């Protein structure tokens, strides 16, 4: 009997992974209860903006209120973490954020030394996604975690490392693949 209970629990957990799939008509589950929270014991990083976002899957292009997006409805396929010298689909990157990834976007005119530093960061750590953002990026670099975002001028800003340390693996579906 206990084996059947364990099997049933495993099936239920697997069915609920990544918020289901293809549920375009269903109301998205809110992440307000699951969103990472900051308490008075956690160091605050100057300039970090916090947002409440929903989660769920939908195919096609999705309009997001932030640039780049900080979470929300997204594609059922995530974007594999790593370094990309081209823009990546926001809908897939948002899915990676849900899995706890940190997404670092940069302008195409960013100095090559800065780009190289970001590439090294992406190759040297798990759960880091770096990609170019061609139009409308509000600063030379933007670092994003699920529901959080920080605008930076340079990769040498110590807040980049602090953001990664504090918010990596903090999405609603931590320890999921990226």
pLDDT tens digit sequence for 55-71? 999 999 999 999 999 99
CA dihedral 118, 119, 124, 125 (to 10 degrees): 60
Q: Retrieve residue 175's tokens.
A: 């320890």
Q: Is the dihedral of CA 50, 53, 59, 63 positive or negative?
A: negative
Cis peptide before 68 (omega within 30 of 0): yes
Q: pLDDT tens digits, residue range 5-43? A: 333 333 333 333 444 433 333 333 333 333 444 433 456
Q: Round to whole Å and give the CA distance between 55 and 94.
A: 9
% of residues, the chain, pLDDT over 90? 72
Give the C-alpha separation, 33 to 52, whole Å: 10
Write the pLDDT tens digit of every residue in 118-163: 999 999 999 999 999 999 999 999 999 999 999 999 999 999 999 9
Q: What is the pLDDT of residue 43?
A: 67
Mean pLDDT of the chain, nearest integer: 82
Asked whether the predicted pLDDT for residue 164 surpasses 90, the reply is yes
């Amino acid at each position: 009997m206990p084996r059947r209970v364990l099997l049933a629990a495993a099936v239920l957990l697997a069915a609920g992974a990544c918020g289901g799939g293809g549920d375009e008509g269903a109301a998205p589950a809110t992440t307000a209860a699951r969103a990472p929270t900051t308490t008075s014991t956690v160091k605050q990083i100057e300039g970090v903006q916090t947002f409440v976002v929903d989660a769920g899957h939908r195919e096609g292009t999705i309009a997001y209120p932030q640039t780049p997006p900080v979470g929300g409805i997204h594609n059922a396929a995530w974007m594999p973490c790593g370094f990309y010298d081209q823009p990546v689909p926001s809908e897939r990157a948002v899915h990676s954020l849900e899995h706890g990834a940190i997404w670092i976007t940069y302008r195409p005119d960013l100095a090559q030394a800065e780009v190289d530093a970001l590439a090294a960061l992406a190759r040297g750590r798990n759960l880091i996604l770096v990609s170019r953002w061609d139009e409308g990026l509000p600063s030379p670099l933007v670092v994003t975690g699920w529901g959080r975002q920080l605008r930076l001028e340079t990769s040498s800003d110590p807040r980049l490392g602090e953001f990664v340390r504090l918010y990596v693996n903090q999405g609603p579906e931590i320890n999921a693949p990226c």
